[in-house]
Amino acid sequence: MKSIPKHIAVIMDGNGRWATKQGLNRTEGHRAGAKAIDSLLTSSLEFGLQNVSLYAFSTENWKRPILEVKSIFELLIEFITDRLDDIHSKGIRIKHSGSRNRIPKSALSSIDRAVERTSKNKTLTVNFCLNYGAKDEIIHAMNGLIQSRKSAKKDLLGKVTEKEFEKYLYTYPLPPVDLLIRTAGEQRISNFLLWQIAYAEVYFTKTLWPDFDRSALVDALQDYDKRIRKFGGL
C-alpha cells in the first residue's frame, strides 16, 4: 500500500444485529464487538497506523433501554481490566473523547486509569469516543475557548481562528481523519467527528462490527489507497 491513513475513525455498528442473527442477546453482541476491537488493535499495529478513533457510545445512545446502557459500560470496564497490561506493553496510548457528564463513576475511573497509565506511549493512539457527540463537542469547545479567554483576561470578542478553536475539541491534538469506516450497512454519520471528517474519505461496508476482522481492514485500507484526494485543488 502506498498511502496509510494517519488517522482512521470507525463507527462500530451492528453489534445488535450480529447477536440477533446468532440467536443471542444484544449484550453478547457488544461482547463480540469488544473482541473485534482486540483484532483491530493487533492489525493496526501490524500496519503501522498511528491514530484510531472508535465510536463506542454516542450522546444519543442514552435513549436505549437502561439495561443495555449499563451493560455497555460494564463491558468497557471489563475490557480495560482485561486488556490494559497488554495494551500498555504494546505501546498503545488510550485517549478519551466525549463528555464526562453522565458516565458512571466506575467507568470513568477505569478510562481515566487507562489514559493515565498509557499517557507516555507513542506507537498507536486509540481514541475511545465514549459519551461522544460531535455537536456536543463543538459547543464544549466554544465554551472552553470563551472560558480560557476569560481566565487569561483576553478580549472575549477577538477573532477566533480554526487553529485556536481546534485546541478545545475533545480529540485535540489528533490530526484530521483521513479514513472514516462505518460497518453494518448504514450510510450515515450519526453525529461522529463532524469537524474532523471535513475531508475524510468515507468507506461503508455491510460487514457487522463483530465480524470486522483483519481482512476487512485490509479491504478498507486498499480501497483508501486507490482514492485520489484533492482537498478542493486540481
Length of the chain: 234
Q: Give the count of residues interacting with ligand IPE (CB under 6 A).
A: 17
From the list 76-84, 86-94, 173-181, 183-191, the region that binds ligand IPE by CB under 6 A is: 183-191
Q: Please, which residues have CB within 8 angstroms of residue 63's CB and are 6 or more apart in sequence?
A: none
C-alpha grid cell for residue 40?
483491530
Q: Out of 17, 113, 117, 149, point to the residue binding ligand IPE (CB under 6 A).
A: 17
Cα–Cα distance for residue pair 126/49, rounded to 1 Å: 10
Cα–Cα distance for residue pair 154/98, rounded to 1 Å: 27
Cα–Cα distance for residue pair 170/136, rounded to 1 Å: 10
Cα–Cα distance for residue pair 62/102, rounded to 1 Å: 9
The residue (of 21 and 123) whose beta carbon lies closer to ligand IPE is 21
C-alpha grid cell for residue 124?
498507536
61 binds, among ligand IPE, Mg ion, none (CB under 5 to 8 A by kind): ligand IPE
From the list 53-61, 78-86, 146-154, 157-165, the region that binds ligand IPE by CB under 6 A is: 53-61
Q: Is 15 in the site for ligand IPE (CB under 6 A)?
A: yes
Q: Is 98 in the site for ligand IPE (CB under 6 A)?
A: no
Element of type H or E holding 7: strand 7-11
Cα–Cα distance for residue pair 110/121, rounded to 1 Å: 18
Name which of residues 5 to 24 contact Mg ion (CB under 5 A): 13
Between helices 26-46 and 214-226, what is the axis angle to 10°?
60
| Integer angstrom CA distances of residue 94 from 52, 80, 107, 217 | 10, 10, 14, 20
Residues 185-214, one symbol each (x = binds ligand IPE by CB under 6 A, - = not), give -x-x-x------------------------
Known catalytic residue: 13? yes
Q: Can you tell me whether residue 97 is helix, strand or coil?
A: strand
Q: Out of 9, 41, 55, 177, point to the residue binding ligand IPE (CB under 6 A).
A: 55
Known catalytic residue: 61? yes
72 binds, among Mg ion, ligand IPE, none (CB under 5 to 8 A by kind): ligand IPE
The residue (of 44 and 58) whose beta carbon lies closer to Mg ion is 58
* Catalytic option among 25, 38, 61, 219: 61
Q: Is 178 in the site for Mg ion (CB under 5 A)?
A: no
For the annotated catalytic residues, the residue numbers are 13, 61
Q: Which residues bind Mg ion (CB under 5 A)?
A: 13
Q: Which residues bind ligand IPE (CB under 6 A)?
A: 11-17, 55-58, 61, 72, 184, 186, 188, 190
